[in-house]
């Protein structure tokens, strides 16, 4: 009996399935599909075995916006963004040795969900999010120091969801909500 190669073009990888689930959740969060359609399509995605089955669950969704990903990178030094800057849908931040300061409290956030992917070596990072933001750090791996984030006692509804993922080497990540 011969086994199929691991990367057979018709079979899907777990990463493909996760990306499809994320696309469905974003379409729902943006109001593009109702809850019933989300449930039906999630079931299709989670039970799909081939790429064609996966694609059929996503065919009704609008195309993803091009240019919605940006990368900020520095080998050393500081990365700093504050004031009224436009936050892309996906922000990749890469730094080997420097510190990262992202202030989203006055930033223009056009998407209901923003993914911040950190790839940091030895520098620490501080992220200030809007007061009404929901922060998700489930996809973050910290190496040397722990994450410092205090969830607000009374979250305010209606804000964006900020998903922070990636890898922190030897630095510490501090997340705080803006005061106003």
8 A C-beta contact, residue 163 and residue 136: yes
Position with higher pLDDT, 38 vs 67: 38
Residue 2 has pLDDT above 50, yes or no: no
Average pLDDT of the chain to the nearest whole number: 83
pLDDT of residue 145: 74
pLDDT of residue 107: 92
Strand order in the sheet with 100-103: 79-81, 100-103, 125-129, 173-177, 148-149
As a whole number, mean pLDDT of residues 122-132 equals 90
Strands (E), 123-179: 125-129, 134-142, 148-149, 161-168, 173-177
pLDDT of residue 7: 45
CB atoms within 10 A of CB 58: 16
Position with higher pLDDT, 155 vs 80: 80
Position with higher pLDDT, 155 vs 100: 100
Please compute Rg for the chain using Cα positions.
Answer: 19
CA–CA gap between residue 49 and residue 180 (Å, rounded): 48
Is pTM, for the whole model, over 0.75?
no
CA–CA gap between residue 76 and residue 5 (Å, rounded): 42
* Residue 60, token pair as written in the block: 């009704």
Q: How far is CA 23 from the centre of its chain?
A: 11
pLDDT tens by residue, 83-122: 999 899 999 999 988 899 999 999 999 888 899 999 998 8
Torsion sign, CA atoms 101, 73, 26, 17: negative
For the chain, give every domain's residue range: 14-58, 69-177
| Helices 14-29 and 51-58, packing angle to 10 deg | 10
pLDDT band at 66 (very low <50, low <70, confident <90, very high): low
pLDDT of residue 130: 92
């Amino acid at each position: 009996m011969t086994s199929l190669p691991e990367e057979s073009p018709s079979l899907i990888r777990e990463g493909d399935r996760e990306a499809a689930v994320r696309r469905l959740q974003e379409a729902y969060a943006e109001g593009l599909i109702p809850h019933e359609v989300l449930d039906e399509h999630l079931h299709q995605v989670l039970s799909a075995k081939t790429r064609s089955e996966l694609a059929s669950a996503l065919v009704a969704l609008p195309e993803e916006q091009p240019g919605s990903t940006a990368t900020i990178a520095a080998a050393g030094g500081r990365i700093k963004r504050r004031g009224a800057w436009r936050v892309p849908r996906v922000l990749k931040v890469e730094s080997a040795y420097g510190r990262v300061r992202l202030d989203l409290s006055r930033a223009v956030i056009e998407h209901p969900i923003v993914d911040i992917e950190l790839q940091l070596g030895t520098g620490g990072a501080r992220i200030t999010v809007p007061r009404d933001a929901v922060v998700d750090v489930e996809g973050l791996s910290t190496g040397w120091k722990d994450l410092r984030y205090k969830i607000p006692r009374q979250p305010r509804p209606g804000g964006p969801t900020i998903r922070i993922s990636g890898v922190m080497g030897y630095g510490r990540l501090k997340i705080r909500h803006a005061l106003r």
